[in-house]
Structure 1
Amino acid sequence: MTAISFKNALGIHPEALNVRSQRSEILANNIANSDTPGFKARDLDFQGILRGEYEKRDRMELNRTSHRHIPAEAVSMESGLKYRVPLQPSIDGNTVETDIEQAQYARNALEFQSSFTFLNSKFKGLTKALRSE
């Protein structure tokens, strides 16, 4: 009997859900600051993150309070953030274009739901396989 490889079975979808969730926060922040003078709209380079281009991002080792704790590190998403270049710059220096941000937010939500639905069906299939149905 061979062990099930979740990485092979699930593909990039678990990582995609995490990145899409973080991207929704960034896009919502852009929309919330659409009237803030000087605010610069940002977005994640989703494709670059999934291709692994940011694996050497800013890393920091988490502090351990006991030698028995498992060593861990955190990765900053800041290095995956890019400034959005506006099609129509505003006079006050704000680069948020609300209609574009809302469209990106809606598309991101749809793609999040697609990955979630895919993962849900995969887990149902794996559960059936484990039960030998």
Structure 2
Amino acid sequence: MTISFDKAFGIHQHALVARSERAELLAGNLANADTPGYKAKDMDFQAALSQAQGAQGFSLNRTNSRHFAVELAPPGAVQYRVPTQPDTGDGNTVDVQAERTSYMENALQYQASLEFLNSKISGLLKAIKGDSM
């Protein structure tokens, strides 16, 4: 009998990829907190997770060759964050406290997925080896 790792690991293997990409975006926001004109970026985590799982998005088909080709941003694509603070005059939209909070929340959820995967792998190894407690 074969082991399906997709079924065994569930959504957590895909969550790690999406959380890693989001961590890079949030770290970039923090690094550019003092850069004039920098616009804070984030991603829709649920859409990114769906994309990582292989969920199909929708596309617009051209029914006539004279129609414009339209490409929509893929789910989970990088988006600019809506500013939550008034403009300080330099055009920067990074709210350092909000970015730190988002980064730490993302890091904790990443760690939770790692812990879940670790316990699943340990259980699979125990089943393969036949060790009993």
Tell me the TM-score normalized by structure 1. Answer: 0.77
**Is the CA contact 2:47–2:76 (under 8 Å) kept in the aligned structure 1?**
no
Distance 1:16 1:4, change over 3 A: same
| 1:41-92 CA-partner distances (Å, limit 9, x unpaired) | 00121111112387569xxxxxxxxxxxxxxxxxxx8961111001113221
Tell me, yes or no, if the aligned pair for 1:54 and 1:80 is still in contact at 8 Å.
Answer: no
Larger strand percent: 1
Q: Classify the secondary structure of the residue corresponding to 1:24.
A: helix
Structure 1 residue runs without a partner (length 5+): 58-76
The letter for the 1-side match of 2:24 is E
Match of 1:97 among 95, 98, 104: 95
TM-score when scaled to structure 2? 0.77
The 1:119/1:105 distance shift into structure 2, 3 A limit, reads same
Q: 1:86 aligns with which of 77, 80, 83?
A: 83
- SS for the counterpart of 1:37 is coil
> Could you tell me the percent identity over the aligned residues?
50
| Aligned residue pair count | 114
Tell me whether 1:14 sits opposite 2:13 in the alignment.
yes
What is the deviation of 1:30? 0.1
Q: Tell me, which stretches of 5 or more residues in structure 2 are unaligned? A: 59-73
Once residues 54 and 123 of structure 1 are traced to their aligned partners in structure 2, the CA distance between those partners, rounded to angstroms, is 25
Match of 2:112 in 1: 114
Distance in 2 (CA, whole Å) between partners of 1:56 and 1:47 is 13
Structure 1 pair 16–31 and aligned structure 2 pair: CA distance change class (3 A):
same
Q: 1:44 to 1:54 in 2, by over 3 A?
A: farther
